[in-house]
């Protein structure tokens, strides 16, 4: 079939070469080439073909995922793909961006063994886990506690007479609940439990617990394990429960790289309790990249479909326009497109920073860890909240057809939305960032300098010398200059951090309890963290522009960067006005400029989503197809619905016909 005429015209009108932008997103032309090579390995492999998952039951979807995961592990070995990034690409092409039952084995169980097990433990567990004789998950969350780890109730009590730990789930709320792969797939779990030895609780520690018999896969005596039932999405994942009834494991099954329990029960505590942050920070940095990818997929579908879909009339008697020509449609979608690009660059920055700081940590330098922890917590929340709302906005921008599973957007939404909760509930994450911001603010007010992304707080002490109302400052923001807008966002963050800190101090003066004061200021604290994260995103997007060599690509990215920054100002105008950063007249200019940028970006919209370079199979959308032949394919897709296997459904003879006969 030929490509839809509208999309052909859109692509011909672009002012830049999409593949050059793809290279920037991938990190260079060589990386793009390699990604496409790995993509082709999967797409051309008949073993990975399957029918549309939307037409399968949950049990069938789980089985398909297990089938493909098993094949995937064998093919990765066969092709010799060992680079973590390349494994990630291969995996996401095989599973088309959906979760799969081995996610926690590959993403949590193996890395935790590498970072927290002793050499002897690695000898014992790593190779069997690498070869999938041992299939593991990471059992932290319980029915009664998630993000608040100190509240976990599972116990591991050391018995020196047998040199064993006794693992127990003492209450119904202590049952491990939610870990992926726990229900039916895993035969081992890394269990987080409160360690008791010599009559004392030593806090949370990790233990390797066998849960099913190798070979038969039957649950072991003392272990109750199963699937927690259907969820909003994640049909292919067996999120599970685990109840342990005084279940004994050898002393050597406690992960002992940092903390140890000696044979007589003596507890040896770790050098730094911060070292186990590594995995957590890494996963949170991945979620930032995931936010970018999921929002990019939704934008690709909505923008291509908006170029193909014609509706109503702008002028009487003329042909129906593309819905992408309506300013309201552009206003919904283009800021989200700009956001997707912004988050791509933030994700790349976080990943690079993680690897750099991780190198320092291995040399014993932990100085940058607090900021990295605060930054990944805040950006994980900021990007996942924004992307989550943006995906739903893209779905609604597709009208009625967006509600069909054939659009692909419902699937993107239900797969992405749990990231607002897992690896740290977003509000709690924002409050962790706020804790770091308050600490930094306190340092500045006591005369110390702070560094890194919070260094803007150093300016606050300088401003105090001048009178409070600095009217002259309103003139300095140039709304067409990204660098100037970074300064505006910086001032907003500083003001909101300062305001939250002052409110916290006022509450402390009224009340004795620090915790109570914190709770009563927490809405302001979350807003301060959001403003900080928003500033970081605008700053990083702007910094990226200088690195772009091709003038045409740089021009279009600058337009997106301006739209991202100005749209953010128009949405938060009150903050900029209240702090005296912008005048009322400037806010009016900002709103006007946003509308003008929509018209400027319009000719490049399709080319900008093409640059994300999602293959149709990965996109999984009838509406977002590269060739734009939406309607023919929607009809073909509907015909495959299981309800259409027979012309007359059995329920007609069972229920409708008898009723008609009686009435």
Catalytic residue set: 423
**C-beta separation of 249 from 191 below 8 A:** no
Give the span between the Cα atoms of 58 and 257, in whole angstroms.
Answer: 40
For 288, phi then psi, to 5°, come to -60, -45
The burial of 442, by beta-carbon neighbours within 10 Å (0-12 exposed, 13-18 middle, 19 or more buried), is given as: middle
CB atoms within 10 A of CB 646: 9
* CA-closest candidate to residue 404, choices 624, 617, 614: 624
Q: Give 175-211 as a DSSP string.
A: SEE--TTTTTT-SEEEEEEEEEETTEEEEEEEEEEE-
**C-beta separation of 307 from 7 below 8 A:** yes
In Å, how far are 237, 276, 398, 625 from 618, measured between CA atoms? 19, 34, 19, 10
Q: For residue 654, give the DSSP letter.
A: I
* CA-closest candidate to residue 186, choices 155, 169, 210: 210
Beta strands 176-177 and 240-244, pairing class: antiparallel
Between CA 611 and CA 620, with CA 617 as vertex, the angle to 5 degrees is 90
Give the span between the Cα atoms of 532 and 491, in whole angstroms.
Answer: 10
Taking the CA atoms of 415, 417, 422 and 424 in sequence, report the sign of the dihedral they define: positive
DSSP H helices in 583-642: 584-601, 605-610, 616-619, 630-639
Between CA 418 and CA 424, with CA 420 as vertex, the angle to 5 degrees is 105
Residues 6+ apart with CB under 8 A from 73: 102, 132
């Amino acid at each position: 079939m030929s490509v839809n005429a509208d999309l052909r015209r859109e692509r011909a009108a672009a002012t830049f070469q999409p593949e050059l932008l793809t290279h920037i997103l991938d990190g260079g032309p060589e990386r793009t080439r390699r990604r496409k090579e790995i993509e082709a390995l999967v797409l051309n492999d008949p073993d990975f073909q399957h029918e549309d998952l939307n037409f399968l039951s949950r049990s069938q979807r789980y089985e398909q995922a297990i089938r493909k995961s098993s094949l995937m592990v064998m093919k990765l070995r066969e092709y010799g793909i060992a680079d973590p990034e390349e494994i990630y690409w291969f995996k996401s092409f095989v599973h088309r961006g959906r979760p799969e039952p081995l996610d926690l084995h590959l993403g949590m169980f193996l890395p935790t063994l590498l970072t927290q097990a002793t050499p002897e433990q690695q000898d014992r567990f790593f190779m069997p886990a690498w070869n999938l004789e041992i299939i593991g998950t990471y059992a932290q969350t319980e029915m009664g506690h998630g993000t608040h780890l100190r509240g976990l109730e599972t116990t591991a009590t050391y018995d020196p007479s047998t040199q064993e730990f006794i693992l127990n789930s003492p209450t119904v709320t202590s049952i491990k609940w939610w870990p992926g792969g726990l229900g039916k797939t895993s035969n081992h779990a890394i269990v987080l439990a409160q360690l008791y030895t010599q009559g004392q609780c030593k806090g949370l520690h990790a233990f390797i617990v066998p849960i099913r018999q190798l070979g038969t896969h039957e649950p072991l005596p003392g272990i109750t394990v199963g699937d927690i039932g259907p969820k909003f999405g994640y049909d292919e994942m067996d999120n599970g429960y685990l109840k342990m009834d005084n279940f004994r494991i050898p002393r050597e099954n406690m992960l002992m790289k940092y903390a140890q329990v000696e044979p007589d029960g003596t507890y040896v505590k770790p050098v730094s309790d911060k070292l186990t942050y590594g995995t957590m920070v890494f996963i949170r940095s991945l979620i930032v990249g995931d936010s970018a990818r999921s929002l990019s997929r939704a934008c690709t579908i909505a923008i291509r479909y908006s170029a193909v879909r014609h509706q109503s009339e702008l002028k009487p008697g003329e042909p129906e326009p593309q819905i992408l020509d309506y300013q309201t449609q552009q206003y919904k979608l283009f800021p989200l497109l700009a956001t997707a690009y912004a988050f791509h660059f933030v994700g790349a920055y976080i990943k690079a920073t993680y690897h750099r700081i991780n190198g320092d940590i291995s040399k014993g330098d932990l100085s940058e860890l607090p900021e990295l922890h605060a930054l990944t917590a805040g950006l994980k929340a900021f990007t996942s909240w924004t992307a989550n709302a943006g995906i739903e906005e893209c779905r609604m921008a597709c009208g009625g057809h967006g509600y069909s599973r054939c659009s692909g957007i419902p699937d993107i939404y239900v797969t992405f939305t749990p990231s607002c909760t897992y690896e740290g509930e977003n509000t709690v994450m924002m409050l962790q960032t706020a804790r770091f911001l308050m600490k930094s603010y306190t340092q500045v007010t006591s005369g110390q300098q702070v560094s890194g992304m919070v260094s803007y707080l150093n300016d606050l002490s300088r401003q105090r010398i001048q009178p409070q109302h600095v009217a002259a400052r309103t003139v300095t923001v140039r709304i067409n200059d990204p660098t100037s807008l970074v300064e505006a966002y910086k001032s907003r963050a500083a003001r909101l951090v300062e305001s939250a800190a002052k409110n916290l101090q006022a509450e402390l003066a009224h009340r004795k309890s620090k915790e109570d004061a914190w709770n009563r200021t927490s809405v302001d604290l979350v807003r301060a963290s959001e403003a900080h994260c928003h500033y970081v995103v605008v700053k990083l997007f702007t910094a990226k522009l200088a690195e772009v060599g091709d003038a045409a690509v740089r021009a279009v990215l600058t337009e997106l960067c301006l739209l991202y920054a100005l749209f953010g100002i128009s949405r938060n105008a009150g903050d900029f006005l209240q702090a005296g950063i912008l005048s009322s007249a400037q806010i009016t200019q900002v709103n006007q400029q946003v509308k003008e940028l929509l018209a400027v970006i319009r000719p490049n919209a399709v080319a900008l989503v093409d640059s994300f370079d999602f293959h149709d199979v990965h996109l999984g959308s009838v509406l977002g197809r590269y060739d734009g032949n939406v309607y023919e394919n929607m009809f073909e897709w509907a015909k495959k619905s299981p309800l259409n296997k027979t012309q007359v459904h059995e329920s007609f003879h069972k229920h409708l016909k008898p009723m008609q006969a009686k009435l």
